[in-house]
Amino acid sequence: MFDFEYQIKILPDKPGVYLMKNSLGEIIYVGKAKILKNRVKQYFKSSKNHSVKVKAMVKNIAEFEYIVTDSEMEALILECNLIKKYKPRYNILLKDDKHYPFIKVTTNEDFPRVFITRILAKDGSKYFGPYTNVSAVYETIELVKKIFPIRTCKRSIKEGGEKTRPCLNHYIHLCDAPCAGLISKSSYGEIVKGITDILNGKDTAIIKQLTGIMEEKANNLEFESAASYRDKIIAVGKITEKQKIMTGNFENEDFINLDSDENDTCINIFFLRDGNITGREHFIVEDTSGEENSAIITEFIKEFYGGVAFVPKTIYVPAILDSELLENWLSMKKNGKVEIHIPQKGSKKDLLEMVWKNANSVMDQFKLKILQDKVINKDTINEFAQVLELEELPKRIEAYDISNIQGVDSVGSMIVFENGKPKNSDYRRFRIKTVKGANDYDSMREILTRRFQHGLDEVKEIAERNLSLSAGKFCVFPDLILMDGGLGQVNVALQVLKSFNIDIPVCGMVKDDKHNTRGLIYNDKEINLNGKQSVKHLVTRIQDEVHRFAITYHRSLRDKRVLHSILDDIPSIGEKRRKELLKKFKSIENIKKANYEELLDTVSIDKKAATSIYDYFNKNK
């Protein structure tokens, strides 16, 4: 049982993000706080001042966890990332998917430009940010333009290329006119370096310069002018404030750190995906007294990455043993180079320090709960085995479901629970290839056949090459299979297993008229789970999770198919125009039926685009 009073009492007086969960372990709300203890405590005080939404949310909170950050700005950005990832039901989900602004320096050009953007792209440019203080970003950009004679035009200018007449900015000393060949690429590069130094936090020189001007203005009693320079200094300070939650390097990296007490160790791992911190996991390793950190982390890496399908390009740790051997093993598993680093300074070391702070917090707050959950899950697995009269404990459970809408885009999903907890790294998705129309039985037969054929092929390859089982993705077979459905789905699974000469018990998960878990179909009989609350709770979690995973995949395929294959294939139609078309006409079908005048009456659609759309949908009529 989650002890809210105790957990709130030991919350840190630090900034961070908190995640509220319901009884099924689902994240229902993500929030950020300048002081975690004060903010979280407010939810559990008197509810008279709470909104209706907050009151409803609090009733559904079964537990919470948090991530400590080094600043409120980092908490704000991390909150945004996590809301987009988990889409909690009690958060306001932004439909336009706006991002915080970045400052972009187009270093992939001979004569780079500097401007604000909300789109992070792999285009060879340098990105700084994101920044939460939007006004400070704009003020700093204006400040940069005044101090550095940088071009603002969108021309494609090459060194030695055709010269053109300078614009007004050159004559008012805001640009050195590379378009007219009045500055060399190397000299212009020095100007760009000065700008990137400021954006990298090396702002001492410009702060000193601005402070000197401010003091001079004040001494001359020009207080309004002095105040404007004071505001510029504040803006530069805001823009050079560092954060580690999002970067512009687009890399996939993991950061691992730990904290120990006299008996046990908490290992925390943060996941950086495409430059964003998107999540973390923590693990309690028992009886580690006297062991070196390097030995604990080495063993953890072998166990953790041995059981996951995805391995990042770089792993950062505070200490390690046999790093070269581990790198070779991970590189073989990834089919690409993997490096393990111990950062000595800079942003990587700072982020690793933040991971340690979170490991320390978990030791204080969650150690007891994690150990209790471990015992509860073990008892549940034991009870599950007794209910089904199994000879072996179902430590690894795989569940399967099929999703389609009117036979379109049929997909299958496989989820995995190990020791009563979801193992997301082993989840798999299948696009149905051989079945046409809405035939759940044949679709299920296909995905099960593919799953176990892959597994047997991997087992054979692993045996031939003398590899570890962890090198495969399908070679570890379950102790129990759960099908989202009744006797028909169970029989399909048993037939597939029989064809491979594999013996694994199979159950069907059935619901009542209110779509609540009712029981299990096993050995042609229905087992009622009333009175077996822990097992029923686990089956409900598995049933909801496999259904969610299948539906999410189906929706992503459907959206991709509709939006990309039709609208994105029309000449002159980009993302902005696509959104405006769907906003006005609501559906692809309505766009097809629209005449030329109706298309032209759409925001951002000019004559060329309207003609292109009309011709695309009517050329074959």
For position 576, which CATH number holds?
1.10.150.20
Same domain (yes/no): 396, 327: no
Is there a domain that residue 357 lies in? yes
Centre a 10 Å sphere on the Cβ of residue 260 and count the other Cβ atoms it contains.
Answer: 18
Q: What is the pLDDT of residue 608?
A: 86
Same domain (yes/no): 581, 553: no
Residue after which a domain boundary falls, among 239, 273, 306: 239
Indicate the residue type of 502: I
Residues 6+ apart with CB under 8 A from 514: none
Q: Read out DSSP for 91-108?
A: SPPPTT-----EEEE-TT
Residue after which a domain boundary falls, among 314, 349, 365: 365
Place of tokens 């990105």: 127
Place of tokens 């430009």: 113
Q: What is the pLDDT of residue 206?
A: 72
Q: What is the pLDDT of residue 498?
A: 95
C-alpha 454: how far from chain center:
28
Residue of 346, 310, 339, 316 whose CA lies nearest to 425 = 310
Same domain (yes/no): 309, 414: no
Place of tokens 């993302």: 575
Is there a domain that residue 445 lies in? yes
The C-alpha atoms of residue 393 and residue 336 are separated, in whole angstroms, by 36
Number of domains in the chain: 5
DSSP letter, residue 343: -
Residue of 33, 20, 42, 99 whose CA lies nearest to 71 = 33
C-alpha 384: how far from chain center:
33
Centre a 10 Å sphere on the Cβ of residue 496 and count the other Cβ atoms it contains.
Answer: 22
∠ CA 8-12-17, nearest 5°, is 85
Q: What is the pLDDT of residue 471?
A: 54
Same domain (yes/no): 307, 352: yes
Is there a domain that residue 62 lies in? yes
Same domain (yes/no): 549, 573: no
Is there a domain that residue 523 lies in? yes
Residue of 24, 92, 20, 106 whose CA lies nearest to 63 = 20
Residue after which a domain boundary falls, among 331, 365, 399: 365
Cβ atoms of 539 and 420 closer than 8 Å: no
Same domain (yes/no): 143, 178: yes
The C-alpha atoms of residue 100 and residue 105 are separated, in whole angstroms, by 16
CA distances from 421 to 25, 395, 415, 417, 418 (A): 10, 10, 11, 5, 5
Is there a domain that residue 379 lies in? no
Q: What is the pLDDT of residue 564?
A: 45
Q: What is the pLDDT of residue 396?
A: 93
Q: What is the pLDDT of residue 469?
A: 56
- For residue 515, the enclosing domain spans 390-561
The C-alpha atoms of residue 448 and residue 500 are separated, in whole angstroms, by 11
**The tokens of 547 are what?**
């259904």
Region of residue 586 (left: phi > 0; alpha: psi -120 to 50; beta: else): left
Residues 6+ apart with CB under 8 A from 598: none
Indicate the residue type of 23: S
Which parts of the chain sit beneath pLDDT 70?
A: 1-3, 47, 92-100, 132-133, 136, 201-204, 235-250, 274-275, 307-309, 364-368, 404-409, 437, 466-472, 553-566, 568-569, 619-621
The C-alpha atoms of residue 351 and residue 245 are separated, in whole angstroms, by 8
Q: What is the pLDDT of residue 558?
A: 54
